[in-house]
Structure 1
Amino acid sequence: MEALLNEWLWQERYWLPPGMHWEDLKAKEGPGEGRYPLPRDLFYTLPVAFAFITFRYVFERVIAVPLGKRLGVKDRIRIRAAPVPKLETFYEQNSRQPSQSEVAFLGKQCGLSQAQVLTWFRHRRNQDRPTNTKKFCEATWRFVFYLLAFTAGLGSLLHTPWLWDCSACWDGFPRQHVSNVHSWYYILELGFYLSLLLCVSVDVKRKDFKEQVIHHIATIFLIGFSYCGNYVRVGTLVMLLHDSSDFLLESAKMFHYADWARTCDSLFLLFALVFLVTRLVVFPFRLIHTAMITFGDLFQPFLGYYIFNILLLVLQALHIFWAYLILRMVCKFAFKGKVEGDERSDEESEADEEEQLEDGRERRKGAIKPKLASLANNCVLNNLTNQRGLNSRLPKAR
């Protein structure tokens, strides 16, 4: 297996600039100089990912749920669908949103009207939507990781020259040793994003679900590829830059679900400022510039150079998409004075709002019908009374 990988995957022309050989790196490696990043180090990320999933399960139940209750997170009371076995079977095995013909067919089978079938499916979908507690737990878990990762990453990079001068990322490349701190920084970040990708089916699905999956995949490939190709210095800067705004977003979500409006709005505006500066200014004009322009001036481009920069450009495209959503929310805040919802809210939020309106209409109809009946009876009685009075006065008039 190792011979096959060496022959097809770890070829020097893929990973090293022209004229460089794997033997050159090994010859320069000394006992006191640290070590070079090895692709086999990334095998640790799989057990780390499962460890993150296990720890998250415990964290959400032991810490996040009690914290949410103390902050005042409340779940919306939802109408549960009545137990109808045939509809439940269709919901689980066929579709959550049946077509008009399927609604008519199910109505005949269950002895229900089409309106009753549609109402049952609407209530049933509402049962499966994530609660505020689930959203709060997810945001709290990500907030804790991003905050710790940003703090640890910043502490490990403060005394490095490439934090202040991006061109230092290529000093002596590719003969650059990696410290144990930065190696574990890579492994933990890669393990965390791998855990997010494994849990994507059970996490809250938002309108940008596809973009999130693309982001996780691109991030995993970028971290893994940069480690194998020894782009560790610029890779640590990319991870630090992303963590700098992510923990602010997750903290704003936490207070949004707890209904702390002012705190949420303040954190969101701070997040928007940090995001726009780091993702639309620093990332393209410093990191992408040094990876594409500075590196291209120093070395002759090769396959690894193109792959690395393509992954960076994919991330930048996602940054522009999310910046558009953020600016929309900032405009709403400017005109209305508060942040209304989340442009990335769960995918069925609009259906949830429609259900609330529909339930409100049903309750109003229920309250209006007795009033209309009473009003109609009063009108009939008045008409009858007036008619009797008119009949009694007619002979006298004659």
Structure 2
Amino acid sequence: MFDTLYDCFWWDRIWLPVNLTWADLEDRDGRVYAKASHLYVTVPYALVFLLVRYTFERFIATPCAASLGIKERVHLRVTDNPILELHYLSHTRSPGQSAVDGLSKKSGLSGRQVERWFRRRRNQDRPGVLKKFREASWRFVFYLFTFFGGILALYDKEWFYDTRQVWTGFPKQSMLESQYWYYVLEMSFYGSLLFSITFDVKRKDFKEQIVHHLATLTLLSFSWCVNYIRIGTLVMLVHDSSDVLLESAKLFNYAKWERTCNALFVVFAIVFMVTRLIIFPFWLIHCTWVYPVEHYPPFFGYYFFNVMLVVLLLLHIFWAYLILRMVRKFLFGKVRPSRDYRFRPAWSVYPALPFSRDTNIPQV
């Protein structure tokens, strides 16, 4: 039964153009092709990333935060109360008036004391600026490394300048060592984020982050297995360019360098618009939608990949609307992104989805 399902899932007609089979992608004549088995290494690498991250945050990010005057805020710890703690963990962190009255009777405390207990309990769980700074520092360093690493891997490739070359000889395109490490590092990083999401700073889009990580790993794996590696690296590089600016804006936000933070956010907004709303649809989606049919008839994998990219484009348009609205507000003196509470929701709905990064805009 399992073998039948396996064979159906990997049926050639689903993932490969007509007249091609998986046998055609076996290593031969000096060519090495991407294989699903190559991705197994991302699991132990994800664990290595967690260790490297812990070391970086403790011995590099924390001293940097101290030099910028960022300290961990100590919140008053609540007194032990099993009744209130059980309600806090299993029901809600912000009980309504009727719930407060009920808890007051059960615990023997006044309604005001119950409300104060829940307020302090929420503050106790709220992550400090130091924790946010360390996480943003780690992501910034990784995104910066992958962005420049992507440039070094692609600058001398013909498809970096002429997207028609992406499909030349597809799918019989030999895998390059630089492409291998680009994909492995990206997927390992996303895997580490998935492993660490339970103890990272939890924002309002916690569930969306989980969906994002899983969707990203799925699409990266798909592009790897069907040898969409050239276009995959281009899409990742395009998204990297704005994410580096975003994480740097977070760092200056936590350090309370408001002018620098605001300036970086404006630059980020410009780069986002250019890369996500111009280059992405008019170069990359055009490349995946128009050029392939010049070489082979459309097939399921072709439609699947393009539909996913179009969905991502729609999300980009939505995020761009929110970003432009924020830029307009604080440029005209109505709001500063590092202060106003209205800045939070718009930044928090910017989770990077397939081929993007996990870059939730800073929440203060």
TM-score (norm 2): 0.88
2:291 equivalent among 261, 274, 294: 294
1:111 equivalent among 108, 113, 118: 108
Distance of 2:316 and 2:209 partners within structure 1 = 11
2:268 equivalent in structure 1: 271
1:124 equivalent in structure 2: 121
1:30 aligns with 2:12: no
Show the 5 A alignment for 1:95-174.
95-174=92-171
Q: Which runs of 5+ in 2 are unaligned?
A: 350-362
Letter in 2 for 1:340: S
- Residue 6 of structure 1 deviates from its aligned partner by 5.7
Partner deviation per Cα, 1:261-297 (whole Å, 9 max, x = no partner): 1221221111111111101111111111111122234
Distance of 1:80 and 1:55 partners within structure 2 = 31
Letter in 1 for 2:40: F
- Residue 21 of structure 1 deviates from its aligned partner by 2.1
- Residue 190 of structure 1 deviates from its aligned partner by 0.9
8 Å CA contact 1:52, 1:195 repeated in 2:
yes
1:50 equivalent in structure 2: 47
2:8 equivalent in structure 1: 8
Distance of 1:86 and 1:21 partners within structure 2 = 63
Letter in 2 for 1:14: I
Show the 5 A alignment for 1:356-367.
none
- Residue 76 of structure 1 deviates from its aligned partner by 4.5
- Residue 308 of structure 1 deviates from its aligned partner by 1.2
1:85 equivalent in structure 2: 82
Distance of 2:163 and 2:304 partners within structure 1 = 20
Distance of 2:48 and 2:318 partners within structure 1 = 32
Q: Which runs of 5+ in 1 are unaligned?
A: 354-398
1:59 aligns with 2:60: no
TM-score (norm 1): 0.81
1:283 equivalent in structure 2: 280
Tell me: CA distance 1:216–1:315, structure 2 relative to 1, closer, same or farther (3 Å): farther
1:189 equivalent in structure 2: 186
2:338 equivalent among 328, 337, 340: 340
Tell me: CA distance 1:265–1:76, structure 2 relative to 1, closer, same or farther (3 Å): same
SS in 2 for 1:223: helix
Partner deviation per Cα, 1:108-141 (whole Å, 9 max, x = no partner): 1222222221221112111101110011011001
Tell me: CA distance 1:346–1:163, structure 2 relative to 1, closer, same or farther (3 Å): closer
SS in 2 for 1:97: coil
8 Å CA contact 2:166, 2:231 repeated in 1:
yes
Distance of 2:131 and 2:318 partners within structure 1 = 26
SS in 1 for 2:180: helix
Partner deviation per Cα, 1:301-325 (whole Å, 9 max, x = no partner): 1111122112212322332232222
Distance of 1:90 and 1:23 partners within structure 2 = 59
For this pair of structures, how many residues does the alignment match? 346
Tell me: CA distance 1:306–1:252, structure 2 relative to 1, closer, same or farther (3 Å): same
Partner deviation per Cα, 1:368-396 (whole Å, 9 max, x = no partner): xxxxxxxxxxxxxxxxxxxxxxxxxxxxx
- Residue 339 of structure 1 deviates from its aligned partner by 2.9
1:260 equivalent in structure 2: 257
Tell me: CA distance 1:314–1:191, structure 2 relative to 1, closer, same or farther (3 Å): farther
8 Å CA contact 2:253, 2:338 repeated in 1:
no
8 Å CA contact 2:57, 2:134 repeated in 1:
yes
Distance of 2:268 and 2:22 partners within structure 1 = 43
SS in 2 for 1:343: helix
- Residue 332 of structure 1 deviates from its aligned partner by 2.0
8 Å CA contact 2:78, 2:121 repeated in 1:
yes
8 Å CA contact 1:72, 1:259 repeated in 2:
no
- Residue 338 of structure 1 deviates from its aligned partner by 4.0
Show the 5 A alignment for 1:211-360.
211-336=208-333, 338-341=336-339, 342-344=343-345
8 Å CA contact 1:13, 1:302 repeated in 2:
yes
Distance of 1:65 and 1:114 partners within structure 2 = 40
1:41 equivalent in structure 2: 38
2:18 equivalent in structure 1: 18
Distance of 1:2 and 1:93 partners within structure 2 = 39
Distance of 1:298 and 1:9 partners within structure 2 = 24
8 Å CA contact 2:33, 2:173 repeated in 1:
yes
8 Å CA contact 2:258, 2:338 repeated in 1:
no
Distance of 1:52 and 1:226 partners within structure 2 = 23
- Residue 335 of structure 1 deviates from its aligned partner by 1.4
Tell me: CA distance 1:131–1:121, structure 2 relative to 1, closer, same or farther (3 Å): same
8 Å CA contact 1:326, 1:343 repeated in 2:
no
Q: Percent identity?
A: 50
Letter in 2 for 1:130: P
